[in-house]
Structure 1
Amino acid sequence: MSVRMRSLFVARIGISRRLSSGNGGGLAGQRGKAQCAPQLPACDIEPQKYQGRSQQEHLSLRRSHLSPFTLSYYHSPLLLHHGYMQWLWDADGRRYLDFYGGIVTVIVGHCHPKVTAAAQQQLGHLWHTSNVYMHPGIGPYMEKLCSTLPPPLQVVFLVNSGSEANDLAMLLARIHTGNHSIITLRGSYHGGTQATMGLTSISSWKFNVAAASGCAPVMCPDVYRGLWGGSKCRDSPVQTTRSCNCHSDTGECQAREAYLSEFRELLLSAAPLRLAGFIAEPIQGVNGVVQYPRGFLSEAANIVRARGGLYISDEVQTGFGRLGSHFWGFQSLGVTPDIITTAKGIANGFPMGAVVTTPDIAACMGEALSFNTFGGGPLACAIGSAVLQVIDEEGLMQNAEARGTDLMLQLSDLRKEFEVVGDVRGKGLMVGLELVRSKESREPLPPTDMRRIWEDCKEMGLLLGIGGIFGQTFRLKPPMCISQEDVDFAVAVLRLALQRHTLRKSGEV
Structure 2
Amino acid sequence: MTRDLFARHRAVLPDWLALYYEDPLEITHGEGRHVWDAAGNKYLDFFGGILTTMTAHALPEVTKAVAEQAGRIIHSSTLYLNRPMVELAERVAQLSGIPDARVFFTTSGTEANDTALLLATAHRRSNAILAMRNSYHGRSFSAVGITGNRGWSPTSLSPLQTLYVHGGVRTRGPYAHLDDRDFIDACVADLEDLLGHTRAPAALIAEPVQGVGGFTSPPDGLYAAFREVLHERGILWIADEVQTGWGRTGEHFWGWQAHGRNGPPDIVTFAKGIGNGMSIGGVIARAEIMNCLDANSISTFGGTQVTMAAGLANLNHLLEHDLQGNARRVGGLLIERLRAVAAQVPHVREVRGRGLMIGVELTRPGTDEADPEAASTVLEEARAGGLLVGKGGGHSTSVLRIAPPMSLTVAEAEEGAAILERALRSI
Q: TM-score, normalised by structure 1?
A: 0.81
CA distance in 2 between partners of 1:61 and 1:313 (Å)? 39
Corresponding residue number in structure 1 for 2:153: 206
Quote the offset at 1:360 in angstroms.
1.2
Aligned residue pairs total: 424
- Counterparts of residues 64-463 of structure 1 (less than 5 Å): 64-152=11-99, 154-208=101-155, 210-229=157-176, 245=179, 253-269=181-197, 271-272=198-199, 274-334=200-260, 335-365=263-293, 367-439=294-366, 441-445=367-371, 447-463=372-388
- 1:442-499 per-residue CA deviation (whole Å, 9 max, x = no partner) reads 2212x22221121001100111111102111110011101111111112111211222
Q: Sort the Cα spacing of 1:245 and 1:359 in 2 relative to 1 into closer, same or farther, 3 A.
A: closer
**C-alpha contact (below 8 Å) 2:168/2:210 kept by paired residues:** no
User: What secondary structure does 2:148 align onto?
Assistant: coil
CA distance in 1 between partners of 2:246 and 2:205 (Å)? 19
Gaps of 5+ in 2: none
Corresponding residue number in structure 2 for 1:464: 389
**C-alpha contact (below 8 Å) 1:159/1:372 kept by paired residues:** yes
Aligned partner letter, 1:435: L
CA distance in 1 between partners of 2:82 and 2:239 (Å)? 29
Aligned partner letter, 2:388: L
- State the Cα RMSD in Å: 1.4
- 1:420-446 per-residue CA deviation (whole Å, 9 max, x = no partner) reads 11111111111111111135x32212x
Specify which of 467, 483, 495 is matched with residue 409 of structure 2: 483
- 1:269-300 per-residue CA deviation (whole Å, 9 max, x = no partner) reads 3x21x220000001100000111022111111
**C-alpha contact (below 8 Å) 1:156/1:355 kept by paired residues:** yes
CA distance in 2 between partners of 1:459 and 1:144 (Å)? 41
**C-alpha contact (below 8 Å) 2:184/2:225 kept by paired residues:** no
CA distance in 2 between partners of 1:119 and 1:155 (Å)? 25
CA distance in 1 between partners of 2:144 and 2:184 (Å)? 27
Identity %: 35
CA distance in 1 between partners of 2:391 and 2:329 (Å)? 23
Aligned partner letter, 2:185: E
Aligned partner letter, 1:169: A
CA distance in 2 between partners of 1:377 and 1:285 (Å)? 27
Q: TM-score, normalised by structure 2?
A: 0.96
**C-alpha contact (below 8 Å) 1:106/1:348 kept by paired residues:** yes
Structure showing greater radius of gyration is 1
CA distance in 2 between partners of 1:330 and 1:448 (Å)? 33
CA distance in 2 between partners of 1:315 and 1:56 (Å)? 37
CA distance in 1 between partners of 2:194 and 2:389 (Å)? 36
Quote the offset at 1:153 in angstroms.
5.3
Gaps of 5+ in 1: 1-53, 231-243, 247-252, 502-509
User: What secondary structure does 1:453 align onto?
Assistant: helix
